[in-house]
Structure 1
Amino acid sequence: MSNIKITVEEQGDKQIIRLSGELDASSALELDNVLQESIEGQFTAILIDCSSLDYISSPGIGLFTSRIEEMEQQGTSLVLFGLKDSVSTVFEILGLDQLLKIVSDEYEAKSTS
């Protein structure tokens, strides 16, 4: 049983993936499948809504970092937004706030991608 709910919306050449719950080892596999489909969909940007994400584990974080190069080669930008303080702190401690584009809200995510 997965601890995460993943919702996908297409908005023109952008795709928004909304996460709700906990992103752990088992749910990271589920999200990885969704991300793979998104990358194959040739979107210019994939925006990850983390505003309802309560927890992220190492495999969850690794999922985003493992896809960066593939997305850059394809010209797709990855933007995370709406991170709660507890989730944001994990990214900052690992220095991933320097590697990933993280913004405060959906409006900013759409305008920077």
Structure 2
Amino acid sequence: MGLHIHIDEPKGDSRRVALSGRLDTHTYGELDRRLEPVLASDLRALVLDLADLEYISSAGIRSVFKARKAIEGRGGRVLVTNLQPQIKKVFDIVKAVPLNSIFTSVEEADRYLDAMQKRVLEEEDRP
């Protein structure tokens, strides 16, 4: 089985990327290639939905780190949702993303992003 990548249209300054299948040495290059224009945009949050990801190798983890570096370099965040137990174990071991960036669902991540955007707007409105 390969890797299927679905990239949603932007939602504000965030974007959801759903992965299914295997993210490994044979498929990470395709993810990197597909994420390149997304990461080059003015995106502030990238939501990785891993509900249907069955396997991730060290090459796949490097792709996640690469995305984090690009987004966090401009003050944004990579949020991870719907980790399957075997994927969560790998993320826990290698600390692929901070624990406060892992959510149980896309909806939970969306609520978090909405709250963060509201906070930024409130701070901008203060004299």
Task: Judge same fold: TM > 0.5, yes or no.
Answer: yes
Match of 1:52 in 2: 52
Question: What are the equivalent positions in structure 2 for 1:1-113 lying under 5 Å apart?
Answer: 3-10=2-9, 11-98=11-98, 101-113=101-113
Identity in percent = 29
Contact 1:39-1:76 within 8 A present in 2 as well: no
In structure 2, the gaps of 5 or more residues are 114-127
Q: 1:99 to 1:105 in 2, by over 3 A?
A: closer
In structure 1, the gaps of 5 or more residues are none
Where in structure 1 do 4 or more consecutive aligned residues deviate above 3 Å?
97-100
TM-score by length of 2: 0.79
Structure having greater relative contact order (Cα 8 Å, sep ≥ 6) = 1
Q: Cα RMSD (Å) of the superposition?
A: 1.8
TM-score by length of 1: 0.87
By percentage of residues, which structure has more strand? 1
8-17 vs 48-57, which deviates more?
Answer: 8-17
- Alignment: residue pair count: 112
Q: 1:100 to 1:58 in 2, by over 3 A?
A: farther
Q: What's the CA shift for 1:13?
A: 2.1
Whole-Å separation in 2 of the counterparts to 1:95 and 1:26: 23
Q: What's the CA shift for 1:61?
A: 0.6
Spell out, residue by residue over 1:65-95, the C-alpha distance to the aligned partner (whole angstroms, 9 max, x if none): 1332221122331111001001101111223
Please tell me whether Structure 1 or Structure 2 has the larger radius of gyration of its CA atoms: 2
